[in-house]
Copies of this chain bind each other. A is one copy, B any other.
Amino acid sequence: MADARWLDEREAHVWRSYHRLLRDFGGAVDRQLERDAGLSGADYALLVPLSEAPDELLRMRDLGTQVDWDRSRLSHHVSRMEKRGLVSREDCPDDARGSMVRLTAAGRGAIQAAAPQHVETVRRYFFDPLSAGDLEVLGRVFDRMLARLDEDAEGDPCTR
């Protein structure tokens, strides 16, 4: 398919590297969390916003928005974490149909145990290979990509 807009060799290389990076970097982070704290990447993804929320408490709906999971996936995963004692569910005081999720002491302990080595892993594979100049380029490039995504999302009725 010889289209002028098709990816050239260098772009195709960067594109393949980007996908390998998503996969291998995600794998390395997940293995570290599992090994050092018995947490999955999904557990960690939910524990972070809860640990940063006022009173370590969030509406299910807001937690879902923060991690961008659909309601069914979120509800199943919160149930599994509740059985392991990492979070607890509570009724929402001003919305009979709503429900809230709270970090438990065990959940707080788990994320505190995992965090330092998680940051080490992120450093080792993501930040240490960057020079100061690379970091600046990456910051600028990501901001520009996000600005365009935001721009288009505003005009698209299918995005939230």
Contacts and interface: CB of A to CB of B under 8 A. Distances in A.
Interface residues of A, number: 56
A24 B149 contact: yes
A115 B146 contact: no
A124 B148 contact: yes
Contacts of A11: 127, 135
Contact of A31 (B17, B24, B159): B159
B5 A120 contact: yes
B68 A5 contact: no
Nearest to A147: B129
Interface of A: 1, 3, 5-7, 10-11, 13-15, 17-18, 20-25, 27-28, 31, 68, 115-116, 119-120, 122-130, 133-135, 137-146, 148-150, 152-153, 156, 158-159
Given A3-B119, A6-B119, A21-B146, 13 more contacts: A7-B122, A7-B127, A13-B139, A15-B122, A15-B126, A17-B146, A18-B142, A22-B22, A28-B152, A31-B159, A125-B148, A126-B145, A128-B148
